[in-house]
Amino acid sequence: MDQVESAAGDERRDFIRDIIRADLASGRHDAIVTRFPPEPNGYLHIGHAKSICLNFGVAAEFNGRCHLRFDDTNPIKEEIEFIESIEKDVRWLGFDWGEHLYFASDYFDQLYDWAEYLVRTGKAYVDDLSADDIRAYRGTLTKPGRNSPYRDRTIVGNLELLRRMRAGEYPDGSRVLRAKIDMASGNINMRDPVLYRILKAPHPRTRDAWCIYPTYDFAHGQSDAIEHVTHSICTLEFEDHRPLYDWLVDNLPVPSKPRQYEFARLNLTYTVLSKRVLTRLVAEGRVNGWDDPRMPTLAGLRRRGIPPTALRNFAERIGVAKANSTVDVALLNHCVRDVLNMQAPRRMAVLRPLKVVIETYPEGETEMLEAVNNPEDATAGSRKVPFSREIFIERDDFMEEPPKKFFRLAPGREVRLRYAYFITCREVVKNDAGEVVELRCTHDPATRGGDAPDGRKVKSTLHWVSAAHAVRAEVRLYDHLFLSPEPGADGDVLDDINPDSLTVLDDCRIEPGAAGLPMGEALQFERQGYFCPDPDGTPERPVFNRTIGLRDTWAKIQAKNG
């Protein structure tokens, strides 16, 4: 896939781009290098999409490069599955790292050498305190920490202990390597942070080569320096970690001096982006895996049919800011509709079918009617749709005793069948339970194509499918996974799960032209919404996921607000 490009001449403005422009103009850097550094302990979500678009986007705009680097420092939670899914997601979004694929584990030897360097220079020590004691000694936001009783070990003693840790002589959790900074610092991250811990677990890439692993804080900045990253762009929760990032870069013989810049992470209504919560949803079976279309993961969004162009447009619309805020999910939906409206071919599908027999239409006859593929795209052309004596319409499009503002089909009423004829309901057939099971109608042959030569009008146009030619399909209707716009605000986030987030309709009818679409191909079921085929389907019985409905609440809100 080609790298998505944006010309620097477009002069998109935000504080990150302003910093980059100033750095290039001043000669601080003559080339820009960014990186997207996920931890491979889960699937990427839409919040990561914002970071991907920013890091790869600014690199493209300023003729630089962006690395994909996996910060794989925790072997207990990391899997090859997650690495492969992340690579797939980044490419799907439209970006490519070329030859610049890296892993923090590539640098384990160098990182360990730097750990010894800090010990030799008196800036790190081996601590025997337990994890609970380290927390207790660290103090609080209002109370300074206390020095560990092991803080003043000799350099020789610390070096010997570190090497024995490296050799696997000590059990998990018995010792750690800590930076020697300032236990009275107002920033808790600077109170002698842990740099290495003992963890006798096989690593997905290095296997059993290591039994001690660097912490994220130690590996991250140094990996940036090794790769000559110029602008280490991350979200605001790392702002308090920046002094430690700078301290390590300044106190190690690193080959370059990257700088960290923080921007506001994405918060979205009705959406949870906590990896911990997402992992719990999967582990407890609340969803059907990481790629469940209700999940905010990129795999889930892709399976739901969200186009990557819409996500890139969404990232551009929300922009890059320094202060956290919450974005209305309606804006994301607007971006999705905006793309699909132009791209998605139209087809007809009846989700809750009601049989209609057109008694005036010849038995055994079929005619092919002309239907427009996409009224928003003149180049999309048209298709042929079969029409016959027996058709299905949507059950909600008929009422036996309609209220005043119901204009669809009712006894004695005439409506238009899209691309076909005017029909009039003459008889209602019910079963023994009194349920409507069939309608008997007549048609006006002169209205073929949907217009009456005498100029008479009808107030409603219905979609339909020919009963003899329809393909049976399963359709999955998705709604918000959470009922609250702020899930978990009043307690356990799982208490806000929407019990009706998925509705499965297993007896739908679709026109033949909607079957056999490849995965990822979006379409609009007329009057129903946008849909895409799901991998669970088969040629004989396709399955469709509803991507989004047709109603655009965000656009209406913006129009109302002027």
Catalytic residues: 39, 265, 275
CA angle 297, 300, 303 (to 5 degrees): 150
Distance in angstroms (rounded) separating the CA atoms of residues 535 and 128: 52
Question: H or E stretch including 554?
Answer: helix 553-561
Closest CA to 534 of 547, 525, 549: 547
Name the nearest CA neighbour of 146 among 161, 158, 156, 136: 136
Give strand pairing partners of 214.
196
The answer to whether the beta carbons of residues 243 and 188 sit under 8 Å apart is: no
Residue owning tokens 């795999």: 299
- Residues 501, 525: contact at Cβ < 8 Å? no
Pinpoint the alpha helices (H) of 344-490: none
Nearest to residue 227, comparing CAs of 370, 371, 69, 118? 69
Distance CA 501, CA 132 (A): 41
Provide the CB-side half-sphere exposure for 416 (13 A, CA).
Answer: 16
* Secondary structure, 3-state, 4-62: CCCCHHHCCCCHHHHHHHHHHHHCCCCCCEEEECCCCCCCCEHHHHHHHHHHHHHHHHC
Angle at alpha carbon of residue 103, lines to 250 and 200, rounded to 5°? 90
Distance CA(150)–CA(161), nearest Å, equals 12
Burial class, 396, CB count within 10 angstroms (exposed 0-12 / middle 13-18 / buried 19+): exposed
DSSP assignment of 204-273 equals TTTBTS-SEEE-HHHHHHHHHHHTT-SEEEEEGGGGGGHHHHHHHHHHS--S---EEEEEPPPEETT---
Q: Token pair for residue 484?
A: 């609250």
* 111 burial level (CB within 10 Å; 0-12, 13-18, 19+): buried
Residue of 302, 542, 508 whose CA lies nearest to 533: 542
Q: Which residues make Cβ contacts (< 8 Å) with residue 113, sequence separation at least 6?
A: none
